[in-house]
Structure 1
Amino acid sequence: MSLYFFRVSRGRYSGLSDQPYECENRQAAWAEMTAVCSNLVGGISRSLEQGAEWQMELLDEAKTPVFRIRLVAESLG
């Protein structure tokens, strides 16, 4: 089992989870990340301003990013 940490960033704010998540492998870590992200995205997107970005990263035990999910609000006109 490997340990993973979540880091969430929004603008200048960035927070790293204090408690690690234990996952059997990378596939299980990805499944955990997408499950957590799906619980947050609805609330995040409702308050996201134009030009803003929100992201969640899953870090390994050495705090190196393994996966990243980004939500970007762009104005195209």
Structure 2
Amino acid sequence: MPNHYFRITNCDGGTIEHLAEIADVKSAWTETTKVFGDLARGCGLKENAEWRIELLGSRREPLYRIRLLAETCEAVASACLTADKGEPC
């Protein structure tokens, strides 16, 4: 069975890799989404941070990447409140 690697980058920018034995491309996508869902539940995502998981091939070439991005939109929210009062955004 081919070896693949999960590269996980947490909210603080730290990166770890885990070896995974995955049979084929379809299984790789399924496993990547499953692992992402499991890890995302407890990742402790902070404001204005990014968390991601990548599945790498046996030569560590990227095959899939899933990112979770948290953004603070205070400036946008303020502009929209102003627009609600009849003033341009």
Smaller-chain TM-score range?
0.7 to 0.9
Cα distance in 2 between the residues matched to 1:42 and 1:12: 18
1:5 is matched with which residue?
5
Cα distance in 1 between the residues matched to 2:40 and 2:51: 9
Q: Which amino acid aligns with 1:26?
A: V
The counterpart of 1:56, out of the listed 44, 53, 56, is 53
**Higher relative strand content:** 1
1:15 is matched with which residue?
16
Cα distance in 2 between the residues matched to 1:23 and 1:40: 18
Cα distance in 1 between the residues matched to 2:35 and 2:6: 10
Q: Any runs of at least 4 consecutive aligned residues in structure 1 with deviations exceeding 6 A, and if so which? A: none
| Alignment: residue pair count | 73
Q: 5+ residue gaps in structure 1?
A: none
Q: Which amino acid aligns with 2:15?
A: S
* Seq. identity, %: 34
- Radius of gyration: which is bigger? 2
Cα distance in 1 between the residues matched to 2:47 and 2:26: 33
Q: 5+ residue gaps in structure 2?
A: 75-89
| More contact order relative to length (CA 8 Å, sep ≥ 6) | 1
The alignment's TM-score, normalised by the length of structure 1, stands at: 0.84
